[in-house]
Amino acid sequence: MVTAQKDIPLYRQIADKLEELITSGTFSSGEKIPSVRQMSRDHRVSISTVMGAYALLEDRGRIEGRSRSGYFVKARLMSRNKVPKAALHRNKPVEVSRASIVEAVLAAIQQPEVVPFGAATPGDELCPHTRLNTLSNVAVRQLGPAAYRYTVVPGREDLRTQIAKRSLRCGEDLSPSDIITTMGATEALLLALKATTKPGDVVAVENPTYYGILDLISALGLQAIEIPQSPEKGMDLDALCESIRSHSIKACVVQPNFQNPMGSTMPDENKRLLVKICADAGIALIEDALYSDLYFGESHPFSLKTFDETGIVLQCSGFSKSLSPGLRVGWIVPGKFYDQVKQLRTSLGLATCTISEVVVSEFLKNGGFDRHLRRVRSVYFRQLQQVRQGIIDAFPKGVCMTEPKGGFILWVQLPEPIDAEKLVIDALLEKISLVPGTLCSASCQFRNTIRINCGHSWTPRLERALGVLGHLAKLQCR
């Protein structure tokens, strides 16, 4: 119990004591501190006194409150000017070529001895496998041999109905007939690009962006024009308008919420303006909404589709980050391109896995998906804070990183002398996987930047791996 001290208000004494415990490491980054009621009982003080202490700690930047979850220790703050730099706007289409290091990053997923900071995959411990196994067994018993048939376009109606119901949470008003299911979000993006472009066309992309999007652009014979983005606001809309005036852009691919790799979230007014810009210019707007369910705030962020009045937005998403990557269930809302996407999927002979669609549909309907998401978001938030703190402790001075409001990806800018590709190769020799920033740029910018996956549980093994990475980075600074 906190003892009274003359001339020092009780709430400040409590705040000072908790701050000492945070500084000493008793409470670590991302860890939940005692609830207001528990502190009130333990220290024999009023709830308002504890609330005053916690408010003071929030002002000091030591803790942050999360709706319906309590208060958590924040990572040690860097100065506000220390955020990764935005890309240069070169306003010139480029051919996309990929380095062989992509293969090494993806191959590392299959190697359990490799620390998985590379590919953006969630940890196995977050998959509700027991519940999914039960639903899968029920589906096989109920459907019999039909469980092993193809599911053809547009996909199972029961799944599309559940997706449409959930769309209300992000401000959309969809019906099952608006949706086509796919084998994951990547297939949805492929269909969106094929439906809106032809080889040789120019596609606007965020810079940096998810390297899988660049691979699709390359495979389809398209050119990329890179639009800079910032961690705070996402795509630079002024730069986009400049590129639209200079080039014939057919499609624009954007991740408006918790972007991979930068983690940025576009403000609602920018989302609305982006939709208008593309509508006025006759540009198809392809929205990658894969991370949108993984928000840390109180409510689901709005999508680009929310502001779409003319059907120009093709929304692509899936359940690989929120539920299970192996089920391979995704979807696309093609808007006015519905017929083209449906015809493409039919002509390519693409079908989805019946069992997977049934299992996901039942999980959304009766499996406690919202409860599962609350747990997943809480875990991702804590793991992001733990990795951020580990980087601050282990890496050279001058390191900058993002502070995402959702998802599980960190974008880390290293001091200028450091070559990220060399760091990645050195790390692989130590059985640690990473993604260099150059893979996330068609023009290979961000040579001193890395992307780190925080989707796996924080363990002494991961903590040691960050220490190794910090040591390797410091060696390049000498």
310 — pLDDT class (breaks 50, 70, 90)? very high
Over the stretch 398-451, which tens digit does the pLDDT of each residue have?
999 999 999 999 999 999 889 999 999 899 999 999 999 999 999 889 999 999
65 & 151 share domain: no
* Structure tokens belonging to residue 91: 């306003």
- Listed in sequence order, the residues at least 6 apart from 316 whose beta carbon sits closer than 8 Å to its beta carbon are 182, 185, 188, 189, 192, 286, 287, 288, 289, 290, 330, 331, 332
- Render pLDDT for 148-194 as a digit per residue (tens, 0 to 9): 888 889 999 999 999 999 988 777 889 999 999 999 999 999 999 99
Do 191 and 325 have their domain in common?
Answer: yes
Give the pLDDT of residue 292.
96
Tokens of 455: 């989707």
Range with lowest mean pLDDT among 70-74, 104-108, 345-349: 104-108
Q: How far apart are CA 92 and CA 142, in angstroms?
A: 56
- Is 85 part of a structural domain of the chain? no
Same domain, 152 and 231: yes
| Alpha-carbon distances of 255 from 218, 302, 345, rounded to whole Å | 19, 12, 23
Residue 158 lies in a domain: yes
State the average pLDDT over residues 113-125.
Answer: 91
Q: In this model, does residue 264 exceed pLDDT 60?
A: yes
pLDDT at 67 over 80: no
Question: Could you tell me if 191 and 288 lie in one domain?
Answer: yes
Examine the domain organization and report whether 236 and 343 are in the same domain.
yes
**Residue 87: inside a domain, yes or no?**
no
Could you give the CA distance from residue 3 to residue 14 in angstroms, rounded to a whole number?
Answer: 9
d(CA 373, CA 378): 8
Q: Is the pLDDT of residue 389 over 50?
A: yes
Alpha helices in 145-267 (DSSP H): 157-166, 185-196, 211-219, 237-246
Question: Directed axis angle between helix 47-59 and helix 10-24, to 10°?
Answer: 50
Torsion sign across C-alpha atoms 304, 306, 308, 313: positive
Amino acid letter at 399? V
> Can you count the helices (H) and strands (E) in the chain?
15, 19
Within a domain: 80: no
Q: Which comes out higher in pLDDT, residue 145 or 1?
A: 145
Q: For residue 26, what are the domain limits?
A: 10-73
Tell me what percent of the residues of the chain surpass a pLDDT of 70.
92
Of 332, 347, 369, which one is at a domain's C-terminal end?
369
- What CATH number should be reported for the domain holding residue 336? 3.40.640.10
2 in a structural domain: no
Domain count, the chain: 3
Together in a domain, 50 and 107? no
Q: Of 369, 394, 423, which residue sits at a domain end?
A: 369
CATH of the domain at 24: 1.10.10.10
How far is Cα 323 from Cα 400, in angstroms, rounded to an integer?
31
Residue 81 has pLDDT above 60, yes or no: no
**Where are the extended beta strands (E) located within 83-132?**
94-95, 115-116
* Mean pLDDT for the stretch of residues 256-276: 97
Q: What is the pLDDT of residues 324-340, one digit of tens each?
A: 999 999 999 999 999 99
- What does pLDDT average to over the chain? 89
Residue 80 is predicted with a pLDDT of 42
**Burial class of 435 by CB neighbour count within 10 A (0 to 12, 13 to 18, 19+):** buried
Are 360 and 335 found together in one domain? yes
Q: Is the pTM of this model over 0.95?
A: no
Are 208 and 308 contained in the same domain? Answer: yes
Contact 394, 76 (CB under 8 A): no
The more confidently predicted of residues 6 and 337 is 337
**Residue 30, amino acid:** G
pLDDT at 78 over 90: no
The residue whose two tokens read 């490491």 is 25
Q: What is the pLDDT of residues 196-246, one digit of tens each?
A: 999 999 999 999 999 999 999 999 999 999 999 999 899 999 999 999 999
DSSP bridge partners of 225: 204
Residue 315 placed within a domain: yes
Q: Which residue, 230, 203, 343, is CA-closest to 286? A: 203
User: In the predicted model, is pLDDT for residue 79 greater than 50?
Assistant: no
pLDDT score of 456 more than 90: yes
Q: Classify residue 1: in a domain, yes or no.
A: no
Question: Strands across the sheet with 449-453, in order?
Answer: 400-401, 409-413, 449-453, 435-436
Residue count of the chain = 478
The reported pLDDT for the residue numbered 284 is 98
Q: Which two tokens stand for residue 246?
A: 């200079």
Share of the chain above pLDDT 90, in %: 63
Same domain, 298 and 377: no
Where are the strands (E) in 396-448, listed by range?
400-401, 409-413, 432-433, 435-436
- Flag whether 81 is in a domain: no
Q: Which pLDDT does position 107 carry in this prediction?
A: 72
- Per-residue pLDDT averaged across 357-371, rounded? 91
Q: How far apart are alpha carbons 179 and 316 in whole angstroms?
A: 10
Residues 185 and 261 in one domain: yes
Residues 109 and 174 in one domain: no
Residues 281 and 328 in one domain: yes
**What CATH code is carried by the domain that includes residue 377?**
3.90.1150.10
| Residue position matching structure tokens 């005692």 | 34
